[in-house]
Amino acid sequence: MAKSGREVDTQSVAAFTVLKRAVELDSESRYQQALVCYQEGIDLLMQVLKGTKDDTKKSNLRKRITGYMDRAEIVKKYLDQEKEDGKYHEQIKIEENATGFSYESLFQKYLNETVREVWIQDPYIRQIHQGSGKQQQSSGLQEIKESLQNHGVLLEIEYSSSIHDREIRFNNGWMIKIGRGLDYFKKPQSRFSLGYCDFDLRPCHETTVDIFHNKHTKKI
C-alpha cells in the first residue's frame, strides 16, 4: 500500500530526529548508544525512501543514507575492536531528578540474542522504599523466582554479609557498574503519580553508570 505524503513527512521527521541524536552521541564519544540510534534512524529513513516518488528527493535521501551508513560502519568497527581488546568503557552521568533512565532504557541495548545468563551483585537489592523487613524482602525475591520459573527463567539467589561492590554482568561480555546500584530511583510521591509504574518517568538520584565490555566476562 502506498503511503500518503503526510505519513512520509512524519517518518522523515522521526528519522532525522533519531539521526540527529546519533550524531550528538557520536560527538560525545558515546559510541554504543550512537550506533543504536544510527541503526534505528537509517531503518526509518529507508522507509521514507520507499514512500518517496520524486526522483530528486530519492537521490538526496540515498546520499544521506549512504553517509550515515558509512559513519555507522566506522563506529561499529571501532566498538568491535575496543571490545576485542577489552578496552571499551562508556560513562553515563545521571543528574539529580533526571528522568528517562528506566532499567529498560539502560540495559536493553546490551540484551541481545546471545544473552543466556545475567549476574547481579548489589548489597542493597533487598531493600524497597516502603522499608519492609528482611523476611518480607526475602519472601518477595522468592515470589519473583517462582514467577520467572513459569517463563523458563532460573533465578538463583545468594546472600553475603561482606559484599560492597555493585555490578551487573551479561554472558555476552557486557558489564555495568552503577554507583548507587539498582536503587537509583527516588520514591514516588504516590501510587497514582507519573513514574510509579513507568520508570522512565520516575526521577532519579544523581549517580554514574560505567559500562565495560570484556569478551571473557565470567561469573561473579
Whether residue 84 has pLDDT greater than 90: no
Domain covering 88-213 in this structure, CATH number: 3.30.870.30
User: Residue 44, Cβ neighbours under 10 Å: how many?
Assistant: 19
- Per cent of the chain over pLDDT 90 is 59
CATH 3.30.870.30 maps onto the chain at 88-213
* Closest listed residue to residue 122, CA positions, set 171, 172, 157, 174: 157
pLDDT of res. 6? 64
CA distance 64 to 82: 27
pTM tops 0.85: no
Taking Cα atoms as reference points, which of 78, 184, 82, 67 lies closest to residue 125? 184
Mean pLDDT lowest among 41-45, 88-92, 101-105: 88-92
Mean pLDDT of 70-94: 90
Characterize the bridge pairing of strands 174-178 and 89-94. unpaired
Mean pLDDT along residues 122-146: 74
Query: Could you tell me if 41 and 71 are in contact, meaning their C-beta atoms sit under 8 angstroms apart?
Result: no
Where does residue 133 rank: exposed (0-12), middle (13-18), buried (19+ CB within 10 A)?
exposed
**CA 186 distance to own-chain centroid:** 19
- pLDDT of 1: 45
Q: What is the mean pLDDT of residues 196-214?
A: 93
Residue type, 45: L
Confidence of residue 43 (pLDDT cuts 50, 70, 90): very high
CATH class of 2-85: mainly alpha
Q: Where in the chain is the domain with CATH 1.20.58.80?
A: 2-85
3-state secondary structure of 105: helix
